[in-house]
Chain A
Amino acid sequence: MTRREMLKNWGTGFGMLGLASLLSEDALAASSPTATPLPRAKRVIFLFMSGGPSHVDTFDPKPRLAAENGKPLPFAKPSLERTKTGNLLASPWQFKKYGQSGIEVSELFPKVAECIDDICVIRSMVADNINHNGACLQMNTGEQAFSRPSLGSWLLYGLGTMNRNLPGYVVLSPAQPAQGAPLWGSSFLPSAFQGTLVSDLKNPIANLTNPRFSAQKQREQLDLLAQLNALHKTERLGDAQLEGRIQSFELAFRMQREAPDAFDVERESPETKKLYGLDNPLTETFGRQCLMARRLAERGVRMVQVYHTQTAKRASCQLWDQHGGLRAELPNNCAATDQPIAALLKDLKARGMLKDTLVVWGGEFGRTPTAESADGREHHPFGFTMWMAGGGIKGGLAYGATDEYGWHAVENKVHVHDLHATILHLMGIDHTRLTYLYGGRNYRLTDVYGKVVTDILA
């Protein structure tokens, strides 16, 4: 493939941006003339609370809900509704001010609350889809129904990887979230840009060890292979793909040594393991995920997505989907994630990595301030909360607001497309210029939408 073909295929006019991943190991190190925003973050860790965490019980306090508990919502609900919900339901949990910033956080997240001055809480998120599948797709790809590349794939396409011996985009999820692979798929981008799913935390990458031959025997095999391939190549000069494949075997051999280290949280100190809660069955699974995410981020993985899909008690594609059992399950979920998340933030900070690592927390939507049955809340894309910390984010800021019942986002709305545009911006990419020509059209992560939320940038 020539450069001209690539330019044509990989983003008219701005193809260079996409080419970064092919030409340089780290586009941040190279000077990229078209990446206009100054990169503030090198990598993203996206903590995804699969199922839709309730905003009014976690990061968006609503005193009016307590005052009017059991009364009807005083205005008409939108026509997009999954099932009819009942009357207003006060949060069963107390909120308290934390940190210098005094941002209110629910008692369910005491440890994350300690980091609030590093966090920007966005209380005015808006999405378009009211079901898990469509909403998860939109949060990850910008589109609700059809196949599009995921955020991580776009990042990899635009920026390349920082460590050739590891996957550039890793998805940690013990159980399958929503509809699975399309959430981290590369769609029409080359398949090498898709996320690598790790679901078995103990055996993260397939085929890393050889059950048959010793390392020395395998070295002998590769030496013979190299000789045979060299003979084969002498008659076939000028074919780069043959050389590329020869190198892929050498790289594989090196990876067998390096990759296990990257994923092995057991190599951490006892203190670090304790910090992430690996000593407690309640926090162990998610703690392990968060610690693994930090090890990967440290080694140059561009994006790690951490799905919360398993607790000590249950595994589910939608752990945070409290249609019922709000009072029992939501505290469980929070307890399983609170300490690991706080540990991740503190650990990144202590290592000097938080300044160029963007941490994003949230789910596909929030939950209704009104009750579903007696002890549940329905899906709610009209106004909900996500938060970001680190790489270029203004900490200790509560941005935007829902109405006094927590129903509609009313102030400084941030649509999913805006969130995507902002993440790309922080990574040094202009979301309107990162394009890929497919099926006769230049596609973007943000389609024809998206606005960088400049107010939350540090």
Chain B
Amino acid sequence: MHRIASLLGLMALPIALALATPPSATEQATSEFFENSVRPILVTRCVSCHGATQQMGNLRLDRGITPAQAQKLVRAIGYEASVKMPPSGRLSESDRAALTRWANSGASFPKTSTSAGRGGSQSWPFTPLRPPLAPPVDQARTDIDAFLLAKLHTLGLTFAPPADRRTLIRRVSFDLTGLPPTPEKVESFVADRRPDAYERVVDELLASPGYGERWGRRWLDVARYADSADARGLGGEGDISEAWRYRDWVIGALNADIPYTDFIRLQLAGDLYDDPVPTGFLAIGNWGNGDADKDKILTDIADDQVDVTSKAFLGLTVGCARCHDHKFDPISTRDYYSLAGIFFSSHILPRLTPKGQGEVMLRIPLETPGQKAAQAKLAEMNRRLATERDAAQKAVAEKWAQEAKAGRILDRAKWDEFIGVGGPSTLRIPFQRLGDVAGIEGVKGEKEALSATVNTTAQAQRILTFTLPPRSVNLHPSPTAGVAAIWKAEHSGTVAVEASLMDADPACGDGFAWELRQGDVVLEKGKVENGGKSPLLKRSVTVREGEILLLCILPGGEYSCDTTTIAWKVGDRNLTADALANPGKGAFGPWRFADLGAIKRTPEMEAVISLWKSGDQTKALNLAAMLPPDQKEKGGFLPDSEAFLMPEAKASRDALEKERAALKAQIPATPQIANGIAEGGVPGSQHEGIHDVRVHRRGRYDNLGDIVPRGAPVVLGGGPLPITSGSGRRELGQWIASEKNPMTARVIANRIWQGHFGRGIVATPSNFGLLGEKPTHPELLDWLASRLIADGWSLKKLHRRIVTSDAYRQSSVPSKAALARDPDNRLLSRAPRLRLESEALRDSLLSVTGKLDRTSGGMAFRDLAIPRRTVYAMTIRSDRTGFGPLFDAADSTNSIEKRTISTVAPQALYLLNSPFALEQAQALAIRLRAHPGTDNDRIDYIYRLLYSRPPTAREITLGKSFLMQSGGDGWDAYAQVLLCANEFFYVD
């Protein structure tokens, strides 16, 4: 077992570690010295001139050299003789010492090495996959067991006895679904005497949706999955807000058991197979958004993609070769840039933003072919409508003009509104919830961060840094534009105005400024400090019918905007009351919410206004009618409202609108968007289009070398790929997913093995290279990989083979001999004892209290009090606080091959004191009290519920005496103890 029982960093524990003596054989020491200290120097400083391609001075330093050459070498690197090497500059003291020591001690090359690092294509795991035969072992029931027993036998060991049925069903339930078995399932399995009773349980678990939720999460660790890149983001376009669709796709793909080859191909090139969602894999990376150096951003994105692709599918750390040939594995910079070229020829950004702005993510609309057709038709319909409207408006304008000639102005009030105020535009885009909180409704503007938010609930709602009071109206300006609530007078007269304002975001920003305006005239104004309130404003205002009052919230300082809670009464109308009755609307009754951002008027519009104001309404109307449609819309001129249409125009318009509505019904109201990748380098950037890239010497984009054709690592039989069109992602996916690729099946089979046993056959599953762990059972891994391919790349079949082996079904209690000879259980002389991962821990707590909500999929939820499975809980890359990280959930800044395991006091504090833990204890106590029978029956029940077994007599005695000592609330305290116990936390 590979585990860290305790880490001291954060309040950790002193612990007795079994310290075995490291191997001290001279041979190994020499080899390590060579690999760590000599080969890196030779590779980086020597072999470009003294290697396979060039042999200057007839010297090759990618192999052993003669004593004479060795002496010459020592002098050359010492800069003593006329030949001074390397010519680019003297080696450092320590490098020179290392090379000298190597030269003086025989200058030999370890046998397994070639010029490009370990093994080349000749050694495992780069060798072609050939299904090995299981060794003949009498006691072996399955081939898997034969491979394992053969090794154990050499140490005089064998498997532990089979685990009992209760232990086994508990183990396999957690393993396959991340949840404990119910007491009923345990009892029926214990009682089931059919020979295939266990296989039936396995099949049922593999078929349950819990399987994908459990094992999908493991893949998400590898895919550096996060729901949001930054806790401060509100899910804007710069964030990976649609990542959850990728998460749902992963879970669904595993549950559907799609062939692993499809799983690969779709994640690399799903967009080319009509499903962009799986390519979220390439879009959710961590590459420093916000850098002003745009070239660096592009290279960093490609680097992230090369890194995650090679680690996840090929088990190789190709990333090293960004700057230099891999020092240990046979991966060259040419390999790296041949892969990178594929990603440079693709884009996850729609464009590069101007300097100083963060990048926005590509948003790919998700449409069925039917929806696509409807969308196209709708666009056509909109064009026709616009034409109709233009004609109608022109007719209106002509009529107005005629009337004006006769001294009559039609729709005077409307014109006043358009011309007099210049028309702040109403916020239009409705939303129904904020974060994960339902009942927060409102509207927002089309750009910027402007919004008006109504908390319709009776509770104060804390979201990010701000708090919305119960039943309140809240305005949020953008850093550059104000936002207003507007009241329009229905009658002329004098009205009482009463308003109060409060900064709802004391933890952020720097306050706000406000103004009360009547049309363009500022009546009152003030500033509110961060976290402050304005005194209640009271005054009366005399208004004409149609005139407007504006309560404006303006940004307080540079680059800041604060959420502001407002209360406002005008006459007998109360904004808060009216808004609560009409949440999610931008305009209602006399009220509306509007964007104060400057409306850019064209000179033509200004001309209309000045004509109107000068009194020449006829000319103004004629000119207005001539304005292009977009100017009318934006300028607030000539709206397409009913009042302005003649009856005949209205009829024709209505018919069109009806048709349009029918079409619209076929298209989802808010377009479904995916974060993913598309063909061609970032549009408008130097990488736009499809092309090979040059080697970036030392990883620098400003130091370019040779062009490399797009392709795959040569050592794996890659080289240039047969790309006929496009970036090459399709071909890369096909190449990785090919049976001939020596790594693909081995890498995934090893990940699955690690999932079941806590340790892979290669213990570093994303690094099969020289610096990774050596395999414990390479033949077994090859056998598993071969079976996977033969089974049509079905992962479920592979799981089934593994969990039905005797190795899997043995007890976790080691014999004395096993402890002595296989102390770390590398050879599987017993079943591993595994700790619940953070997701399984929380899910199990909810499961045993009976509260677990099995709803699957959808946007991530933020509030951990929501009793859904943890795989659907929000993960934020910039936030490492809270439940998940505390229990070692994967850190989404990196591709994680294996989670660390820490046992620290804050975990115990969480289980003892957190509201969540106390709530679960209480819920469990309620469940227990409701259980019929005596206290003995209840204690019996809780053991079956939590540990899948009945209690011992001693445990009953302990329980009863605790309860007696505790009096009334004993069950809560007792339930919590049992939830904290090691037996709940570790699975045998």
Contacts and interface: CB of A to CB of B under 8 A. Distances in A.
Interface of A: 1-5, 7-8, 12-13, 21-23, 25, 80-83, 129-134, 137, 144-147, 153, 156-157, 160-161, 164-169, 174-176, 179-182, 185-188, 190-194, 196-197, 205-213, 217-218, 220-221, 224-225, 227-229, 231-233, 235-236, 238-249, 251-252, 255-256, 310, 313-317, 321, 323-325, 437, 439-441
A313 B17 contact: no
A161 B12 CA distance: 9
Given A224-B958, A242-B986, A248 B908 contact: yes
A187 B510 contact: no
B888 A252 contact: no
A439 B311 contact: yes
Interface in B284-310: 286-293, 296, 300, 303-304
A285 to B, nearest CB: 12
Interface stretch (B416-424, B567-575, B853-861, B909-917): B909-917
B902 A190 contact: yes
B287 A146 contact: yes
Given A224-B958, A252-B912, 9 more contacts: A25-B14, A82-B292, A146-B287, A180-B232, A186-B9, A194-B885, A241-B903, A315-B506, A440-B772
B37 to A, nearest CB: 9
Nearest to A157: B9
Q: Which 9 A-B residue pairs are closest in the complex by CB-CB distance? A: A147-B893, A145-B288, A180-B878, A192-B7, A252-B908, A314-B510, A192-B9, A181-B880, A440-B317
B955 A228 contact: yes
Contacts of B22: 3-4, 7
Contact of B7 (A22, A187, A317, A324): A22
22 contacts: A1-B2, A2-B18, A3-B18, A3-B22, A83-B356, A146-B286, A147-B894, A160-B8, A165-B905, A166-B11, A174-B507, A176-B232, A190-B4, A191-B880, A194-B9, A224-B974, A225-B980, A240-B16, A248-B907, A248-B908, A252-B909, A315-B506
A426 B833 CA distance: 42
B510 A313 contact: yes
Contacts of A81: 292, 355
Given A193-B9, A210-B912, A251-B11, A134 B888 contact: no
A182 B12 CA distance: 22
A361 to B, nearest CB: 24
A439 B983 contact: no
Contact of B287 (A12, A145, A196, A324): A145
B557 interface: yes
B977 A440 contact: no
A238 B819 contact: yes
A255 B813 contact: no
A156 B981 contact: no
Contacts of A249: 908, 912, 980
B62 interface: no
B880 A185 contact: yes
Contact of B317 (A146, A235, A313, A439): A439
B328 interface: yes
Nearest to A130: B292
B133 interface: no
B10 A167 contact: yes
B542 interface: no
B938 to A, nearest CB: 16
Interface of B: 1-20, 22-23, 32, 36, 230-232, 286-293, 296, 300, 303-304, 311, 317, 319-320, 328-329, 355-356, 465, 506-511, 529-530, 557-560, 764, 766-767, 769-773, 812-814, 819, 823-824, 833, 835, 877-881, 885, 888, 891, 893-894, 900-910, 912-915, 918, 952, 954-955, 958, 962, 965-966, 972-974, 976-978, 980-983, 985-986, 988
A312 B953 CA distance: 62
Given A192-B10, A239-B833, A5 B320 contact: no
A145 B958 contact: no
Contacts of A137: 288
A313 B3 CA distance: 48
Contact of A207 (B5, B910, B986): B910
A2 B977 contact: no
A214 to B, nearest CB: 10
Contacts of B954: 231
A38 B4 CA distance: 30
B958 A313 contact: no
Nearest to A379: B292
Contacts of A180: 230-232, 878-879
B5 A240 contact: yes
B8 A229 contact: no
Contacts of B560: 314, 316
Contact of B905 (A131, A241, A251): A251
A137 B290 CA distance: 12
Contacts of A247: 13
Given A180-B879, A193-B9, A315-B507, A248 B905 contact: yes
Contact of A21 (B8, B20, B507, B766): B8
B7 A208 contact: no
Nearest to B20: A2
A81 B294 CA distance: 11
A221 B813 CA distance: 28
A167 B8 CA distance: 9
B328 A440 contact: yes
Contacts of B907: 248
A232 B36 CA distance: 45
Given A133-B290, A191-B891, A441-B320, A12 B982 contact: no
A192 B12 contact: yes
Contact of A236 (B3, B304, B769, B813): B813
Contact of A1 (B5, B290, B955): B5
Given A145-B288, A213-B973, A218-B912, A22 B530 contact: no
A439 B317 CA distance: 6
A317 B291 contact: no
Contacts of A208: 909, 913
Contacts of B508: 175, 315-316
A353 to B, nearest CB: 22
Contact of B904 (A25, A132, A157, A192): A192
Contacts of A176: 231-232, 878
B356 A145 contact: no
Contact of A217 (B767, B879, B966): B966
Nearest to B6: A244
Contacts of B6: 22, 240-241, 244, 248
Given A3-B17, A236-B833, A146 B288 contact: yes
Contacts of A256: 909, 913
Given A176-B231, A213-B973, A316-B508, A13 B36 contact: yes
Contacts of A217: 966, 973
A181 B884 CA distance: 14
A181 B905 contact: no
Nearest to A233: B982
A1 B891 contact: no
A2 B3 CA distance: 9
Contact of B291 (A1, A129, A242): A129
Contacts of A185: 880, 891, 893
A147 B286 contact: yes
Contact of B913 (A22, A133, A210): A210
B977 A225 contact: yes
A232 B982 contact: yes
A197 to B, nearest CB: 6
Contacts of B880: 181, 185, 191, 194, 197
Contacts of A132: 290
A134 B290 contact: yes
A21 B507 CA distance: 36
B8 A25 contact: yes
A93 to B, nearest CB: 20
A378 B454 CA distance: 38
Contact of A156 (B2, B9, B231, B972): B9
